[in-house]
Structure 1
């Protein structure tokens, strides 16, 4: 059947083998925080705060670094292709000691670096500017308190140095994404002041030039959140301007915009002015609720635009959701596979014929081709990709996840 499908696509000018090659070489960065509900390993055990909330209490949450790594190994075994780990600063190995955020060092993450090396994967990193007493009022790098700003500047600077060490040791540039929750529940009196302080803090954070072969800086915007419904300092306009001016990567999170606003249409515009793009593929429902990614229209549109723009080489694809209402392993697998399927569908689009019809002004043929493409047997190609990577199909993966839940997750309490 696969050979027949290849011929069907070939009639439309699509090279299926080339699409599979691209799939194999396009990693998805797996967010560690799905495995433990954004708890981390600082030992504080406090509330998330800063507008973050995880709902549900499904059994089997990872409680230690070893449990989280074991869960991630299970996830990686169920995903075709080679992927990456995305780690937040609160996930360091602090040996039971109190290490404040401005004091973190490479040694606290060496275990994760060694684990990634053993898995043969790259790693990305994030400063954690939330769930801390110095972020209790929802302000960090834009705070009017100079001491608060200095603390978070030092934390972000330390995170960049750690990321550079990660990239150097693993031989793959580490994307360091700076997101801060700064905002206000009610109307501010001086929006400009907050944004001027944020810009000045970021300038200091990024002041030290690091080897781009080891570290890639990214900044992330947001529209609103719990406790910041009226004002978010780091808006899309703020960070797009900052990324353009300073030529950093810009992070677009699918859940950080208006619920009816998709990020796919932004991709081509942003890539004209910033060097690289970081995507946090998520699924916002009503608000930035970070639901498990699905093989839905929005995810397909994101991947379609990346392929149509020939932008995969300039884009870093990561996931960002946390769901504790279902099996956490399944959430990872379902979400990552949905992103991969969306990418495969985009790669199997008859782009050359579509472009030729459009340039010729033949919009009738363009529309027909788009509709024909929707009905082509792409799932046969997906199953072939899974088979070539010795990973189970979707339904087979569920059986493995259920077995792991019974053997491993059910005994955690």
Structure 2
């Protein structure tokens, strides 16, 4: 265990160093304390859910690995979430997919789901001091195919329209129950392996489907629409592309979701933030890590995450930005993967909050560009890690790598016994 006295001594030195640059470390920690990340429940069970309908994961997404200990029941998912959050500083939200309903062993098709199927989740989350967010689920279903909301066949398309309408209804009831808006994300995998005869045709269908879905106004939920670059088996054409949803979001004032894995690897998601803030009401972020494609690797503290976090803080719009995690890895301990990614995201946000922005802006206003670049570089090696350790200490969670022992114990006592 890291010595508490050493943590406090290191923090005081860091506090003084940051103060010399006009940065208040106490204020930065207070700001980070207020950022509630939306944790993704599907890291615990490989996106299987509880529909009681056996089937493979489809929709152009894929979980790799088969590490022992996957959660198989609602109780096991909840247990894993409790364990993970005990190792993460701060209070956070939980994001559910529609397939995670408490169906009590019954087969409930997706156009039949109701708020009652998520009542136990609402009550459990309240007990845990968490708020819920929600997602419609268009994949891994006999009617998924290659097209859902953009399907020209009335029977298929109307099934998914009804499903998504019900997801908005469920989100509204969640928002009422928790007295805080439930953020509902709409993502579909619709696309084609080869270029279709008409790209426009399917986007026209999708637009009409969305118009019908959003025809009812709710007060206790917020709608997000998420684009995708491509899916496995659907490589050449994605109906709900970024251009499509950006246009629809601006036109209809919906929240556009930016998933960091849903763009070409050379694109900067950070660069999109300021533009979206000008033309859409809020932004939803799904933090993931693509490696050559949208592979949903465990989030780590890399340059892309740091760049994105700095842009969020520099835009002075954290009150208009929602941040969720979205990755799944079954090659390593799933709880470990969970905790690594969330803590990495918080570390990036903390570094952004500790940036000497006032001094950097002063240099820029005076056209002192050498000084601006020099300070940006020197800021990278400021003792932010001492502030992070203090933040963990204040939140009574393990400091540094000491959380590894907690996860190893949980594996020995719990997940290794799941068969």
Q: Does 1:63 align with 2:69?
A: no
Tell me the equivalent position of 1:187: 195
1:157 aligns with 2:165: yes
**Where does residue 143 of structure 2 map in the other structure?**
134
- Give distance in 2, aligned partners of 1:235 and 1:291: 22
Tell me how far apart the structure 1 counterparts of residues 222 and 210 of structure 2 sit (CA, whole Å). 15
Map 1:6-405; keep pairs closer than 5 Å. Answer: 6-136=15-145, 138-211=146-219, 214-405=220-411
Per the TM alignment, residue 119 of structure 1 is displaced from its structure 2 partner at its CA by 0.6
Unaligned runs of 5+ in 1: none
Corresponding residue of 1:411: 417
Alpha-carbon deviation of 1:318?
0.2
CA offsets 1:263-285 (integer angstroms, 9 cap, x no match): 11111111110000000000001
TM-score (norm 2): 0.97
Contact 1:157/1:205 (<8 A) preserved: yes
Cα deviations by residue, 1:172-202 (Å, 9 ceiling, x for unpaired): 2110000000000011011101000001000
1:70 counterpart SS class: helix
Q: Secondary structure at the match of 1:103?
A: coil
Instruction: Compute the TM-score of the two structures, normalised by the length of structure 1.
Output: 0.98
Structure 2: gaps (5+ residues): 1-9
Give the deviation of 1:394 after TM superposition: 3.1
SS in structure 2 of the partner of residue 147 of structure 1: helix
What is the rounded CA distance, in whole Å, between the counterparts of 2:288 and 2:185 in structure 1? 16
Contact 1:28–1:84 (Cα < 8 Å) also in 2: yes
SS of 1:358's partner is helix
CA contact (8 A) 1:39 1:45 kept: no
User: In the aligned structure 2, how far is the partner of 1:406 from the partner of 1:266?
Assistant: 44
Calculate the aligned-residue CA RMSD, in Å. 0.7
Return the alpha-carbon distance in structure 2 between the equivalents of residues 239 and 370 of structure 1: 34
Question: Aligned pairs, how many?
Answer: 410
Distance in 2 (CA, whole Å) between partners of 1:13 and 1:25 is: 21
* Alpha carbons 2:296, 2:327 under 8 Å: kept: yes
- Runs of 4+ deviating beyond 4 Å: none
Distance in 2, matches of 1:196 and 1:286, equals 31
State how far apart, in whole Å, the 2-side matches of 1:142 and 1:277 are.
24
Question: C-alpha separation between the residues in 2 aligned to 1:379 and 1:225?
Answer: 37
Cα distance in 2 between the residues matched to 1:116 and 1:326: 27
Residue aligned with 1:283, SS: coil
CA contact (8 A) 2:53 2:107 kept: no
1:208-239: CA deviation from partner (whole Å, max 9, x where unpaired): 0000xx10100000111101110000111100
What CA deviation, in whole Å up to 9, does each residue of 1:135-188 have, x standing for no partner?
Answer: 12x100000101111110110000001001111111121100000000000110
